[in-house]
Structure 1
Amino acid sequence: MSTKPPSLTERRKAATQLDIARAAAELFTEHGPDGTTAEDIALRAGVALRTFYRYFRSKQDAVAPLLAGGADRWRQSLAAAGPGSAVPTALERSIAEALSAHDEEAAEGLRWTRGLLRAAAEDPALRAVWYRVNQESEERLRAVVADLAGPGADPLDVRLTAAAATDAIRVALEAWAETDAPVRGEGAPAELAVRCLRELMGGMRLLGPAPGE
């Protein structure tokens, strides 16, 4: 099913939100959430404070687009595998690709995520944004998994698969953020997420054997 491309207004809105999110991430990394105000974020992003509050309810909420962007691209990549694809293989490949940091822009995105997760350890409101982003991603992922699995898939298996895949990425990123491991290679997010995925989905009927078995 085709989707209508975003309008120019929608693209501008998304770009402004991302600019604000990056400004918030920079300031949280530099000064921590407690040392950052909404006014600081608006000034760094080059927007009026009223513009900030038009898009975000709080300073912590401002980083949501940055945290959600990677998940959006991952789901699009997974959906591109198309119906009839082997679900475990498609999931593993898409997760490895999404977290592979194949260019400097992707590597920088992972570093921003690391900084935000470290800041979230001391800020309940920022943690709540992280959990909300993951929950929303999981809910959107169900439709993608259902399309890949086909009309005969058990809805509970689809739901479990979406939860397991989302948690594999979440746990991998959280574990990686607690270390100084690189963005690529051993101990990097891609390796950790694939490991988590295999562990979490080992017994699911929908998926069958895990890749490599």
Structure 2
Amino acid sequence: MAARSLTERRKNETRLDIARTAASLFVADGLRATRAEDVARAAGVAPRTFYRYFATKEEAVAPLFAAGAQQWAEAVRRAPEGLSVPEALRHAVTDALAAEDAAAVASLDWVRSLLRMARESAALRAVWADACHASEETLLALLMERVSAAEPTPELRLAAGVASAAVRVAVESWAAGDAPAGGGGGLAALAVRCLGALDDFPWP
């Protein structure tokens, strides 16, 4: 079990290394000019290793999108039990998207650059859409746990969908502008604002 866990960690680290390398090359050289082989070479892996993890060069940045979604999911899970669902969601985005250190700011800067590129790339938009869908499914499972639901009712699916959409709109709106990652005008504040627009929603 321990050996398998170590192997999985190494695989995840390799995936993230490739993702960061791909994002760096996309920003420096342009998405169209960058080949999967260029990413593999810069990441120090063989092309066959690259294709073992990713089917296309665009998919190589999926771990960067997934990392942010995972942070939000973990923050929802950590939210105090006494909070209502909307309170827990606002607490979670404040926690996960606060960008309080250099690593968090750098990660959000990658996301901003990639989402701007996605305007001109259907393949990159598809990667972002897949990440958003996966995040919504994770949130649905967390909401089920939070309200002790045995089944994913339509109401819970709707709650996960609108909450995920609010955060997605916040991320995309922030990425389209020039506001800093943190602070009062940062991403966390914008996400709280978008969730606040749902105050009249019938949360479970």
How does the TM-score come out when normalised to structure 1? 0.89
Q: 1:88 pairs with 82, 86, 89, which one?
A: 86
Q: Is the Cα–Cα contact under 8 Å of residues 172 and 193 in structure 1 kept in the other structure? A: yes
The aligned counterpart of 1:211 is none
What residue number does 1:203 align with? 200
Alpha-carbon distance in structure 2 between the residues aligned to 1:105 and 1:6: 28
Which deviates the most, 81-90 or 21-30? 81-90
Matches within 5 A, 1:29-178: 29-81=27-79, 85-151=83-149, 155-178=153-176
Using the alignment, how far apart are the partners of 1:87 and 1:100 within structure 2?
A: 20
AA aligned opposite 1:46: G
Shift of 1:156: 2.0
Q: Report the secondary structure of 1:34's partner residue.
A: coil
3-state SS of the aligned residue for 1:193? Answer: helix
For 2:127 and 2:189, the matched residues in 1 are separated by 25
Q: Which amino acid aligns with 2:36?
A: A
SS in 1 for 2:32: helix
Counting matched residue pairs gives 203
Could you tell me how far 1:170 is from its partner in structure 2? 1.1
Amino acid at match of 1:7: S
The answer to whether the 8 Å contact 1:154/1:206 transfers is no
Q: Give the distance between the partners of 2:60 and 2:83, measured in 1 at CA.
A: 36
Q: In 2, Cα distance between the equivalents of 1:164 and 1:104?
A: 30
Distance 2:122 2:137 in 1: 22
TM-score, structure 2 normalization = 0.92
Compute the RMSD of aligned alpha carbons. 2.0
Q: How many Å apart are 1:82 and its aligned residue? A: 6.0
Alpha-carbon distance, 1:6 to partner = 6.7
Give aligned-pair identity as a percent.
Answer: 48
- Segments of 5+ residues of structure 2 without an aligned counterpart are none
